[in-house]
Chains A and B, each alone.
Chain A
Amino acid sequence: MKALIKLHLKENIGGKSFILFGILGGLVTLLLLTGGEVTMANNPTEEIISKFGTQWKFLSIIAGFASVTISMGTIERHRKEKRTELLALHGLSIDKQLFAISIGNALVSMILSTILALVLILIILFGKAPTNLIGFITAFITYLISTGMIALIVSVLNMFLPSIVVAILGVFIVIIGSFHQIIQGMLLNNNQFISYIIAKVMNILPPLDVFNRLTRSLFFLEFNCSYDLIVFLIFIWMTLTTVYLTSKGVGRYEKI
Chain B
Amino acid sequence: MKRFKGILWMAIGVILIGIFYIDQAPIVDAHTIDLIDKAHKINFDKYWSGFNINIYPVEIYKKNILKKDSTVRYYNDKFYEIKDKKPIYALSMDIDESGQAILLVTSARDFRSLSDVGNFNSSSADIYYQALIAHEAFHCFQADQGFYDVFSKEITIYEKSNVLTTVRKLDENSKYQKLWMDEMEKLIDYAKEDNIQNYHAYLNSYQNRLDFLYNNFKEEDVIEYLKYSNLYEKAEGSAKYIENITLSMLSGKDLEFDIISYGKGTSKYYDSGFLKTYILNKKDDLDWKTDFFKTDKTFEDYLLINYQ
Does A230 lie within 8 Å of B253, measured CB to CB?
no
Kindly provide the distance from the CB of A118 to the nearest chain B CB, expressed in whole angstroms. Answer: 19
Kindly provide the distance from the CB of B143 to the nearest chain A CB, expressed in whole angstroms. Answer: 21
Does B109 lie within 8 Å of A227, measured CB to CB?
yes
Kindly provide the distance from the CB of A67 to the nearest chain B CB, expressed in whole angstroms. Answer: 19
Residues of B within 8 A of A210 (CB): 113
Q: Which residues of A, 180-208, contact B by the 8 Å Cβ criterion? A: 181-182, 184-185, 188-189, 191, 196
Does A222 lie within 8 Å of B121, measured CB to CB?
yes
Q: How far is the CA of A43 from the CA of B124 in the complex (A)?
A: 8
Residue with the greatest number of chain B CB neighbours at <10 A, chosen from A224, A225, A226, A230: A230
A213 interface hit (Cβ, 8 Å): yes
Does B124 lie within 8 Å of A46, measured CB to CB?
yes
Which of A41, A57, A181 is close to B118, meaning CB atoms less than 8 Å apart?
A57
Q: How far is the CA of A46 from the CA of B127 in the complex (A)?
A: 12
Q: How far is the CA of A144 from the CA of B277 in the complex (A)?
A: 48
User: What residue in chain A is nearest B251 (Cβ atoms)?
Assistant: A44
Q: Which residues of B, 227-254, contact A by the 8 Å Cβ criterion? A: 244, 247-248, 250-251, 253
Does A44 lie within 8 Å of B127, measured CB to CB?
yes
Q: A54-B118, A217-B121, A241-B9 are contacts. A230–B16 as well, Cβ < 8 Å?
A: yes
Q: How far is the CA of A58 from the CA of B119 in the complex (A)?
A: 11
Q: A188-B69, A210-B113, A241-B9 are contacts. A44–B253 as well, Cβ < 8 Å?
A: yes
Chain B contact surface mostly: helix
Q: A185-B89, A191-B88, A227-B23 are contacts. A38–B117 as well, Cβ < 8 Å?
A: yes
Residues of B within 8 A of A54 (CB): 117-119
Does B118 lie within 8 Å of A38, measured CB to CB?
yes
Q: Which stretch, B144-152, B257-265, B291-299, touches the partner chain A?
A: B257-265
Residues of B within 8 A of A37 (CB): 119
Does B109 lie within 8 Å of A42, measured CB to CB?
no
Does B256 lie within 8 Å of A41, measured CB to CB?
yes
Q: How far is the CA of A74 from the CA of B61 in the complex (A)?
A: 44
Residues of B within 8 A of A126 (CB): none
Does B255 lie within 8 Å of A216, measured CB to CB?
no
Residues of B within 8 A of A41 (CB): 244, 256-260, 271
Q: Give how many B residues have a beta carbon under 8 Å from the other chain's beta carbons.
A: 45
Q: Which residues of B, 45-66, contact A by the 8 Å Cβ criterion? A: 61
Q: How far is the CA of A76 from the CA of B90 in the complex (A)?
A: 44
Residues of B within 8 A of A55 (CB): 118
Q: Which residues of B, 103-145, contact A by the 8 Å Cβ criterion? A: 106, 109-110, 112-114, 116-124, 127-128, 131
Does B86 lie within 8 Å of A191, measured CB to CB?
yes
Q: Which residues of B, 214-230, contact A by the 8 Å Cβ criterion? A: none
Residues of A within 8 A of B16 (CB): 230, 233-234, 237
Residues of B within 8 A of A53 (CB): 118-121
B19 interface hit (Cβ, 8 Å): yes
Q: Give how many A residues have a beta carbon under 8 Å from the other chain's beta carbons.
A: 45
Does A58 lie within 8 Å of B113, measured CB to CB?
no
A18 interface hit (Cβ, 8 Å): no
Residues of A within 8 A of B90 (CB): 189
Q: How far is the CA of A50 from the CA of B120 in the complex (A)?
A: 6
Kindly provide the distance from the CB of A97 to the nearest chain B CB, expressed in whole angstroms. Answer: 18
B17 interface hit (Cβ, 8 Å): yes
Chain B residues in the interface with A (C-beta under 8 A): 9, 12-13, 16-17, 19-20, 23, 61, 69, 86, 88-90, 106, 109-110, 112-114, 116-124, 127-128, 131, 244, 247-248, 250-251, 253, 255-260, 271
28 A–B contact pairs at CB < 8 A? A37-B119, A38-B119, A41-B257, A41-B259, A42-B244, A42-B255, A43-B124, A43-B247, A44-B128, A44-B250, A44-B251, A46-B124, A50-B118, A57-B117, A181-B113, A182-B117, A185-B106, A185-B113, A189-B89, A191-B86, A212-B118, A213-B113, A213-B116, A217-B122, A225-B122, A230-B23, A234-B16, A234-B20
